[in-house]
Amino acid sequence: QVQLQESGPGLVKPSGTLSLTCAVSGGSISSRNWWSWIRQTPGKGLEWIGEIYHSGSANYNPSLTGRVTISVDKSKNQFSLRLNSVTAADTAIYYCARLIIGSPAVDYWGQGALVTVSS
């Protein structure tokens, strides 16, 4: 059974950098799945942030391009999110997720990590 676990600071200062890591267990990050970050807020609902393949190939939401970087660490079986220049609008529950092989739908989600942007 694949499990995903987010970790990282729950509080980030405005203009700072949000950093989260997703540890993958019960499966290999080097499988043929894509791995994704998705966030959720009461106001904007669910928003796709980006995705990465174990080769390092990544795709991002154009609304966040320039601020977001997703990376993969195969040796640790994990992938990470960095979001720069955060504002209060980036306050959200951040989920890491696995996409089904060959189908763009999420079959496994992390439990979610609440990140608050505040001074």
Partner 1 sequence: EIVLTQSPGTLSLSPGERATLSCRASQSVSGNNLAWYQQKPGQAPRLLIYRASSRATGIPDRFSGSGSGTDFTLTISSLEPEDFVVYYCQQYGNSPLYTFGQGTKLEIK
* Chain positions contacting partner 1, by CB under 8 A: 36, 38, 45-48, 51, 59, 61-63, 95, 100, 103-107, 109-112
State which residue, 75 or 103, has the beta carbon closest to partner 1.
103
Using the structure block, give the residue that is written with the tokens 């089904």: 100
In angstroms, what is the minimal distance from the CB of 48 to partner 1? 4
State which residue, 15 or 63, has the beta carbon closest to partner 1.
63
CB atoms within 10 A of CB 106: 17
In angstroms, what is the minimal distance from the CB of 9 to partner 1? 20
Side-chain-facing half-sphere of 15: CA atoms under 13 Å? 1
Side-chain-facing half-sphere of 96: CA atoms under 13 Å? 28
State which residue, 105 or 118, has the beta carbon closest to partner 1.
105
Using the structure block, give the residue that is written with the tokens 């992390």: 110
- Tell me the residue length of the chain: 119
In angstroms, what is the minimal distance from the CB of 99 to partner 1? 9
